[in-house]
A and B are shown apart, each in its own frame.
Chain A
């Protein structure tokens, strides 16, 4: 879950990482004016969206007076960036900058440990610095078992050639950032740029925080302090109504998964699983020229009612003509239970399962019982001798006459 900039900064502020003066988020232009007035000098106003390219899109504006701040806030609040409407405008004091740095903590997939990254070339894409100016970047892994100690941050910062009073200040900020990463289940904690102002102090000009979903249960207190709804799913785009309904279906009971629904604009509804199987099947449908209406995942042996309600949700989506029910060879999900659920879903909506279910391809545990049900309703099914790819092809072929 990505944090908005103002949430990232609020978290950093709580941890003693210095922020620009008066940094606060406004929901209205009037509120922005108040904040600007209380700062009492030049300010920067920044659109709060979960999208890159804010500066280019006109989502970052400067103001020298509270009245200018009102005009800027109005513009920003009305501006959608890459389809995202801003949730507010961040207002903060602007001061002359001497130098920009980069400091970040994230996971190192190779080392399977966190990694701290520091550069004295901040404000630009860190991957670009790594490529073009490797001497200006330092990285250091740290243990997840040994306590984090300040010297680790000091070694990192010193490796780029920073010394003097700056070294101590940067060590402290980096240490605080690393501890925040550890304490709060983050997958990214980044300050870019971290600015050294003309008066020698450091401030976090922009911050990025990503928290993994798995950590959220343990972070309820923090999320409450940041006023983030613990149920809120934040992906690259906000969830659609259809996707929210999918969450309701999946959370109706704790048995198995029949959810992770993602909306697409096609005509073939997909009742598919599990994690890897869904990815494989979605690719297969598209390869055959099919147009999926959705992505979803079934797994872990969901109840009949869950499979039924997922089927109904997908069949009720405008434009869906048929559904394809497909999985890899299953081990713990029972074929008969899924068969019963999808047939029930069709019948409850007044559809003929034989007509609505383009193909049923779930081989594996209890398949004999499952196939018997499908046989009874005249639904086309296949066993493991038909590949996932071929099954997807059969479903897509049926859509041509649908």
Chain B
């Protein structure tokens, strides 16, 4: 099994005629994903690799079931696109766009919550369930994605899209496949945090362990630690913490928009202390992750 998406997930791409979106359409189709339409206002009637383009989300949702949408429009139009998807009753919205003002992200997250829908991202590469489907650019071309991602028992969540692939590749090489890999996004405010997605992985009987990529800034790791303790999660978690050098450089922004050390709680040292106290194993290097996972699963 997988979380969020499967072979049967139907989805659309908003902003489908953009350069990156055209590539992504091809990648997702090749991977076996079901794309039932695309939206670019004023471009109705076109086709992108056989996927019909419409002017509105409603034009698609009015005649077919749409489970998800990948939003791939410029930052100034993203909020409207997400509201349009939510109005159409779409339940899973992957926002690829980066550099969206935080207030607007918060508005989208609040609106999604009111509608009972889920946002992944923004500033993310999407979701991939090996041998099922991928929603977004995660893993790149289907041929490349198949090299890095294989089916198995590990749930993966990462604030970095590139590192999602790197970690899954390392797990795959060690014989540990993935149930679903989620690039959750690099912004300070995102639709789905580690703690938000944990219940989904808990409910998926095939997921046996969790691997996460963390970095400085934000409260997501602290939120996860609190969740693990409070819910007494059945899933062992292995975390990799990047950006340790940033602890010495408060106020400097590196990497993602959400990655900045403003106070003690933002430092990797503080975060590592917090998650270790909650029973999460912390890997010093990416290649140490599979060994720690196997150890936690009693496989070694």
Q: Give A residues with C-beta under 8 Å from B.
A: 107, 109-110, 112-114, 127, 143-145, 182, 185, 187, 212-215, 217-218, 235-237, 260, 262, 273-280, 282-284, 286, 295, 297, 299, 327-332, 363-365, 384-385, 387-390
Contacts and interface: CB of A to CB of B under 8 A. Distances in A.
A299 B101 CA distance: 21
A218 B161 contact: no
Interface in B251-271: 251-257, 259, 263
Given A277-B160, A331-B161, A145 B215 contact: no
Contact of B255 (A110, A143, A145, A297): A297
A143 B139 CA distance: 36
A212 B100 CA distance: 10
A389 B287 contact: yes
Contact of B162 (A187, A237, A299): A299
Minimum-distance CB pairs A-B, first 3:
A276-B160, A236-B251, A331-B140
B165 A328 contact: yes
A283 B243 contact: yes
Interface of B: 20, 23, 75-76, 99-103, 106-107, 109-111, 114, 125, 137-141, 144-145, 147-148, 158-163, 165-166, 169-170, 173, 186, 188-189, 213, 215, 218-220, 223, 240, 242-246, 249-257, 259, 263, 285-287
A365 B140 contact: yes
A235 B253 contact: yes
A276 B215 contact: yes
B162 A110 contact: no
Contact of A365 (B99, B141, B173): B141
Given A144-B107, A236-B251, A262-B254, A107 B189 contact: yes
Given A109-B218, A276-B242, A364-B144, A214 B257 contact: yes
Nearest to B256: A275
B267 to A, nearest CB: 13
B166 A388 contact: yes
A389 B160 CA distance: 17
A273 B166 CA distance: 12
19 contacts: A110-B223, A127-B263, A144-B107, A214-B99, A214-B100, A235-B251, A237-B251, A276-B160, A276-B161, A276-B255, A277-B166, A279-B245, A329-B148, A329-B162, A330-B162, A364-B165, A365-B144, A387-B286, A388-B166
Contact of A283 (B186, B242, B250): B242
Given A332-B23, A387-B287, A280 B242 contact: yes
A329 B165 contact: yes
A235 B144 contact: no
Given A110-B219, A276-B162, A329-B148, 16 more contacts: A109-B188, A109-B223, A144-B103, A214-B99, A218-B101, A275-B255, A276-B158, A276-B163, A276-B186, A280-B166, A280-B242, A283-B243, A299-B162, A328-B162, A331-B137, A331-B141
Nearest to A113: B106
Contacts of A275: 160-162, 186, 255-256, 259
Contacts of B141: 331, 365
